[in-house]
Structure 1
Amino acid sequence: MFGRTAHTLARHVSRAGTRAYSDAPMAFTFASQNQVFYNGANVRQVDVPSFSGSFGILPSHVPSLAVLKPGVLTVFEDGSTAKKFFVSSGVVTINEDSSVQILAEEAAAVDELDLGSARDILNKAQSAASSATSEEAKAEALITVEVAEELVKAAESG
């Protein structure tokens, strides 16, 4: 009896962690205000930074809507190719048919970011935050600081 139970358990454990649908591509569209990066392209996975936490999207993901936070978005086109993009903000929509749309306020390929320029943007944002005279100006400057900090991190990783 123990042998049969162990065999059944081993069969189930060997399947754990695998998803039958993970090899299926999903239709992916990703654009910013001035550039389309993907338009209905078949990709394997997309990792996104969101205010509810960073998460990965695979085919057959539960339909969702999330707000992007500043950070790095990673697109896995196939088993070995990953492309990284910095996004300042935006929205991700995961549809019932496994298609995914990401609309970013601003986006750029991480390998195209200039670390010196990113640091300059951060320094200017920090100066604006410290010299802000109204609560509204300070809030706007702090948002810019948050985006610039993530931009610097992305440029350092690229």
Structure 2
Amino acid sequence: MAALRSVSRLLTRRCLGTTLKRGYADEMSFTFAAGNQVYYDGQSVRQVDVPSFSGSFGILPAHVPTLAVLKPGVVSVFENDGKVNKIFVSSGTVTINDDSSVQILAEEAHPVENLDPAAAREVLNKAQSELSSATSEQVQTTCT
């Protein structure tokens, strides 16, 4: 009986040791580029939150491999030092690989702090005004 316990303990230790040695990725290599600028080029980051057409989601190291289409919105990048960068994207793709590398390719991207909320509201109001004053259904369809 004592021999059976010893074998059981030995197997348990070996199995646990293998599990602990396998581990999971604790770093994530992140690349983020747009037509106007490269924001990250293989940098290690803690987390990335993205807006996609299937819903917004966060990406951590060891995330399941995924390919998603980005919708207009804000990508939040949580750097290892605690800094958070927020970048507006118009559209693009996010690719998450099984080696914990993540790539975002955006059609257009701009840091949120560079955007002027008053100017954005003005452009939006102008576009909505033009749309509401359109006379035909065809013109309204063209504007949307």
Per the normalisation by structure 1, the TM-score is: 0.69
**Cα contact 1:85–1:109 (8 A) shared by 2:** yes
Question: Which residue of 78, 88, 91 corresponds with 1:89?
Answer: 91
Return 5+ residue gaps in structure 2 as ranges: 1-22
- Rg bigger for which structure? 2
Q: Find the aligned partners of 2:35 and 2:135 in 1 and give their Cα distance.
A: 28
Q: How many corresponding residue pairs?
A: 121
Q: Tell me which residue corresponds to 2:40.
A: 38
Q: Which residue identity lines up with residue 122 of structure 1 in the other structure?
A: L
Deviations 1:51-74 (A, max 9, x none): 100000011111111011111110
C-alpha distance after superposition, 1:67-109 (max 9, x if no partner): 1111111000115211111111111011121111101111111
Name the Cα RMSD after superposition.
Answer: 2.0
Residue in 2 that maps onto 1:103 = 105
TM-score of the pair, normalised by structure 2: 0.75
Gaps of 5+ in 1: 1-19, 143-158
Q: How far has the Cα of 1:127 moved from its partner?
A: 2.9
* Equivalent residue letter for 1:68: L
| SS of 1:31 mapped into structure 2 | strand
Structure number having the greater strand percentage: 2
Return closer, same or farther for 1:134/1:85 CA change in 2, 3 Å cut-off: same
- Quickly say closer, same or farther: Cα 1:124–1:52, change in 2 above 3 A: same
